[in-house]
Amino acid sequence: MSPWFRHLPAVPIVLPLLAAATLLLFAERARALRIAIACASITAQLAAAIMLLALTTEAFPDIWPQGVGAYAIGAWPAPFGIVLVIDRLTGLMLALAAVIGLAVFINSLAFWDRVGPHFHALLQLLLMGVNGAFLTGDLFNLFVFFEVLLAASYGLLLHGSNSQRVKMGLHYIVVNLVGSLLFLIGVSLIYGVAGTLNMADLPARAAALSGADRALFDAAAAVLGIAFLTKAGCWPLNFWLPGTYAAASPPVAAAFAILTKVGVYALLRLGSLIGSADALAHIEGSALLRPDLFRGGMFYIGIATMGFGIFGTLAAQQLARVVGYSVIVSSGLLLTIIGLDHTPLLAPALFYLVGSVLATSAFFMLTGMTGRAWRTPVPFPTASAVPLPVALGNYVPFGVRLAPVPQAEDAEVGVAIPAAMAFMGLMFAFCVLLVTGSPPLSGFVAKFAILSAAIQAAQGAPWATAAWILVGVTIAAGLASLIALTRIGMRLFWSATGRNTPRLRVLEAGPVALLVLLCIGLTVAAGPAMGFLEDTAASLRAPRIYIDTVLATGEGR
Amino acid sequence: MEILFAIAIGVLSGSGVWLLLRPRTFQVIVGLALLSYAVNLFIFGMGRLVTGRAPIVGAHPVDPASLADPVPQALVLTAIVIGFATTALLLVVLLAARGLTGTDHVDGRESP
């Protein structure tokens, strides 16, 4: 193995950190320079993520022969030092995060990066936290990266602060701080009982526990699971989500589309590691329910989350809120499938995860554009348009004076694209098809694969009821979002009176088209993609390779 | 010592949860601070409560039983720093919310 490749897993963490630190050195006025730095960082992250993803496949068997690579930070061997681990799932999530990061970065250039200070630095830190959470093989390190991404997300949510954002930001921060405290309790309890924080070392230690220690360990895993479920936006811990996502500026909401999936990823990863046979049962405390029937409470939590999402979708009147609820629905579907713990469902679920993150992210960016179309006159929500609080007087956020922000869209510079309304209508239609899972796009492929696997699972006796519930709720969720989005689409594009066609710039329209094109690509290449995801699911079911690779960093020293 | 320690954590987290559920932002932030104290103590306690043992390995090989576990102490330091930073951020948001909405109610408006 070439020594250069060995350090590749550190790149997705170190690079955005350095980029964010460098970005802070330059004043807001040096915009071109800052954009160049951020652009270089995000492009390099995307390249690194794609390279890492390629290295975990069979294409390069001589580097990581079994598709898992471990990187010991500071060359401290595994159970004691912190390791970064890359396998297929990590590579996939890294690539997804980098694509979303790139799209959000380009989209923000049109307008939103100028409404507040340090947008690009915060986005880099968010990416650092997300990448770190995907890569780390250490529980406490996972907490640290969660905090990094949350701290960056607090800043991004308040970006271009208006009273709605500050109000929702308050709720979001408090909920997540409490979630972080639960996370800490879970992690420290696990350390106190099992004596390790290394995720690969944990399964063997946990299996050796018995009696009261085992009960404590299960309790710790359940507390940890609650923290992850809060991040994943599961019912009843998700009342903050739609309002927060709707209040955030559109590119920020688009970036947040991946945050709930970080929670889902953590559940998948720990569930795969902590005892593979009864893995997920321990995460959410299945003892309360009949484990033989539904394999744990997460199934019910997922169904309840989807139900909440369905009703929310139907009730919401604002496009951004409908999309927020569809994020909840997608989280719910993934949690349901994790709760079912049925291997053939896992690959379609991962396919659905990728497609839904891309689609909701594109949709959030689109809401920013449609929001301008029929509000007359069209003032941009700028920082200066917000009445300054009395108590804060000439309050300048963080002591940074901003570059002047264009007040109306006429003042915008840049290339406008022709047929803006047609473009928006087309993109809206594509996004609706993707989010609802209607044919012919990737949402349909994903839901079809899920339904077909679920119906096949229903043939086996103990699964039947659960699988049919999954089928019914999945179809109902698709129908509900189709109704809600059609209603809103008619209001936006058909019956709107007095709307004015906004000037769309290539910079803001391009990323939406890019993400939609990626989804179309995913539809066309559904076969190879599903093959890769089946390998991913298989490696999640057999965590032995992961564990051995990580612990092997401690050998031969 | 264990009883005292457990009672301290219990009182701190009980008060913290009660304050967290109050409608005023200042009460919420004090509640969060108390809860994070409770959690920090809890992490510290996970290294087992011992006295007179240093968490530092000396130059000579020593008996592990004569040492305190250094890992929870490192964890609690990290947790304190992170909690401190996020609480400071929350304070700023709290002030901004007070200024923008004109009330210190967590929902941004007084309940009827």
Q: Is residue B111 assigned to a domain?
A: no
Total number of domains in chain B: 1
In-domain check, residue B58: no
Enter the ipTM.
0.91
| B61 is a domain residue | no
Chain B interface, best mutation among A170, A190, A217, A390, by max B CB count within 10 A: A170
Q: Write the secondary structure of A64-129 as one string of H (helix), E (strand) and C (coil).
A: CCCCCEEEEHHHCCCCCCCEEEECHHHHHHHHHHHHHHHHHHHHHHCCHHHCCCCHHHHHHHHHHH
Q: Kindly state whether residue B56 falls inside one of the protein's structural domains.
A: no
Task: Please report whether residue A28 resides in a domain.
Answer: no
Q: Which residues contact residue A442 at a Cβ distance below 8 angstroms, ignoring those fewer than 6 apart?
A: A351, A355, A359, A434, A519, A520, A522, A523, A526
**Higher model confidence: residue A496 or residue A219?**
A219
User: pLDDT category, A99, cuts 50, 70, 90?
Assistant: very high
Determine the average pLDDT of the residues in A189-198: 87
Rounded to a whole number, what is the distance in Å from the CA of A124 to chain B's nearest CA?
18
Q: Which residues of A403-430 are buried (b: 16+ CB within 10 A; e: fewer)?
A: eebeeebeebeeeebeebbebbbebbeb
Is A399 inside any structural domain? no
Residue A394 lies in a domain: no
Which residues of chain A does B79 touch, with a Cβ-Cβ cutoff of 8 Å?
A: 184
Domain assignment present for residue B78? The answer is yes
Least Cα separation, residue B56 to chain A (angstroms):
15
- For residue B80, the enclosing domain spans 2-50+69-101
Domain interval for residue A432: 293-373+415-524
Provide the b/e sequence for A137-173 (b: ≥16 CB within 10 Å): bbbbbbbbbbbbbbbbbbbbbbbbbbbbbbbbbbbbb
Across the interface, do B75 and A154 touch by the CB < 8 Å criterion?
no
Residue A189 lies in a domain: no
Q: Is residue B27 domain-resident?
A: yes
pLDDT band at A17 (very low <50, low <70, confident <90, very high): very high
The answer to whether A299 touches A373, Cβ cutoff 8 Å, is no
CATH at B16? 1.10.287
Whether the CB of B42 is below 8 Å from some CB of chain A: the reply is yes
Q: With an 8 Å Cβ cutoff, are A188 and B42 in contact?
A: yes
pLDDT in tens, A486-525: 888 887 777 655 566 667 777 888 888 889 999 989 888 8
Q: How many domains does chain A have?
A: 1
Q: How far is A39 from chain B (nearest CA, A)?
A: 28
Q: Which of residues 3-32 of B touch A (CB under 8 A)?
A: 20, 25, 28, 32
- Whether B108 is covered by a domain: the verdict is no
Neighboring chain B residues of A389 at a CB cutoff of 8 Å: 96, 98-100, 102
A178: chain B residues, CB-CB within 8 Å: 20, 32, 35
Asked if residue A502 is part of any domain, the answer here is yes
pLDDT score recorded for residue A462: 67
Residue A406 lies in a domain: no
Q: What contacts A501, CB < 8 A, 6 or more positions away?
A: A373, A420, A421
The confidence score (pLDDT) of residue A416 equals 59
Please tell me the total number of residues recorded for chain B in this structure: 112
Residue A398 tokens, joined: 């963080």
Residue B103 is predicted with a pLDDT of 79
Q: What is the mean pLDDT of residues A453-462?
A: 76
